[in-house]
Amino acid sequence: MSYNNRSSATLLIQGKPDPVDLTCVISLLYTIQCNWNTPYTLPEFTISKYNINITNEEELVKQVSLTGTLDTQYTYNVSEFGTYTISITAVISEDLEGERN
Report d(CA 54, CA 58) in Å as an integer: 9
Nearest-CA neighbor of 89 among 15, 31, 16, 24?
A: 16
C-alpha 62/C-alpha 80 separation (Å) is 13
pLDDT of residue 37: 87
pTM of the model: 0.76
Alpha-carbon distances, residue 16 vs 28, 60, 63 (angstroms): 37, 24, 21
Quick: pLDDT tens for 65-86. Answer: 988 767 789 999 998 888 899 9
d(CA 14, CA 25): 32
Q: Tell me, what's the pLDDT at 87?
A: 93
Residue 96 pLDDT exceeds 80: no
The DSSP string of 4-36 is ------------SPPPPEEEEEE-TTSEEEEEE
User: In what side-by-side order are the strands of the sheet with 73-77?
Assistant: 21-26, 31-37, 73-77
> Which tens digit of pLDDT belongs to each residue from 10-64?
777 777 788 889 999 988 778 999 999 888 888 878 888 899 999 999 899 999 9
